[in-house]
Structure formats: C-alpha cells, structure tokens
Amino acid sequence: MLGQFVTGVTVVTAMPDDGPVGFTCQSFGALSMDPPLVLLCPGKGSTSWPKVASTGRFAVNLLAQDQIAAARGFAVRGSDKFAGVRWSAGGFSGAPLLSGALGWLECEIATVHEAGDHWIVVARILDLAAATGRLPLTFFRGTLAGLGAPPPGPGGRS
C-alpha cells in the first residue's frame, strides 16, 4: 500500500578515504527551516551507509527524470557504482555531486535515531543548489518514471 505514495528519488553520496560511496534513497525529506535540516532513512542492512556516516558529511543528489540508470545503478550492492558516472566534488563535503541532477545538497549529520530496521538520520544543510529546466524522477508503485517533457529553456548547472 505504501507504494501508492509517490516520492522523488535521490542518490546519497560521500567521500571516505578509500573512494566515493553512494546509494539510492527515496526516504528523504525536508524537516526544518530554522535550523535548516533534512532527514533520510538508510536501512540497517546498507553497506554504504556506515561509510557515509564515517565521514560525517554527505551529499544528496535529487535525480532528474533522465537518471533512471543512476537510480538503478546506485541500488546495486557491491557493484562499481561510479563507473561511467560523471560527478564533481562538493566544496563542503568532498562528496560526489552527480552531473545532470535536479538539485544538490551538502549536509552534516546532526543526529541518528534508531527506528526498526532503518536509521532516521537528521542532517544540517551546509549548501544547496538547483538546476533549471529539468523535471524530477519519481518512484510510484515500484516503478521509476519521469513527469513528462522538460520545460523549455536552457538547463542550469550540469
């Protein structure tokens, strides 16, 4: 039944000493304006999350509708998730900012709460940026899909 609730799709990334890590994450949301906080819910079984957490800082990449391959690729455990993926390092976290995303946030972990088989991670926004001319990727009833044709006009950051 919860698949009836449509969400966007993100890829959460970080840059530990042994190289970039990331995982696809739909359980992301705005939390607080003052201070600026977001939340996300990594599963306890994720092997990427402990590596992200070890750095204390991470990036949230809001995926655009033409990034279905990234959404799928970053959900495959043990694969070379960054193969063929274009990104640049975030100035506050060093975390990969994926080219072509709809928006990017760099965050610092504030608190982590235990909740069943997931963690609830509360994080402070350090920086954020948005692209123009792109539409979001959505996840609905187990299916990744875009919203339709992008609005006319030039794109923003790539």
Binding segment toward ligand FMN, per CB under 6 A, in 18-26, 61-69, 83-91, 123-131 = 18-26
- What's the rounded Cα separation, in Å, for the pair 49 and 47? 6
User: Does position 47 bind ligand FMN by CB under 6 A?
Assistant: yes
Q: How far is the CB of 156 from ligand FMN (least distance, A)?
A: 24
Report CA dihedral (29, 73, 104, 116) to the nearest 10 degrees.
30
Contact present, 96 and 130 (Cβ < 8 Å): no
Site string for ligand FMN, 63-102 (x = CB under 6 A): --------x--xx-x-------------------------
Which residues partner with 43 through β-bridges?
118
What span, in angstroms and rounded, lies between the C-alpha atoms of 108 and 10?
A: 17
Nearest to 82 by CA among 94, 98, 66, 68: 98
The DSSP letter of residue 154 is: -
Closest to 62 measured CA to CA, from 19, 15, 24:
24
Among 13, 15, 38, 42, binds ligand FMN (CB under 6 A): 42
Residue range at the interface with ligand FMN (CB under 6 A); choices 44-52, 56-64, 98-106, 146-154: 44-52
> How far apart are CB 9 and ligand FMN at their closest, in Å?
5
The one among 8, 16, 27, 94 contacting ligand FMN by CB under 6 A: 27
Range in contact with ligand FMN (rule: CB under 6 A) among 23-31, 89-97, 98-106, 127-135: 23-31
Q: Which of 13, 14, 15, 46 binds ligand FMN (CB under 6 A)?
A: 46
Among 132, 128, 131, residue whose Cα is nearest residue 105: 128
Enumerate binding residues for ligand FMN (CB under 6 A): 9, 23-27, 41-43, 46-48, 71, 74-75, 77, 139
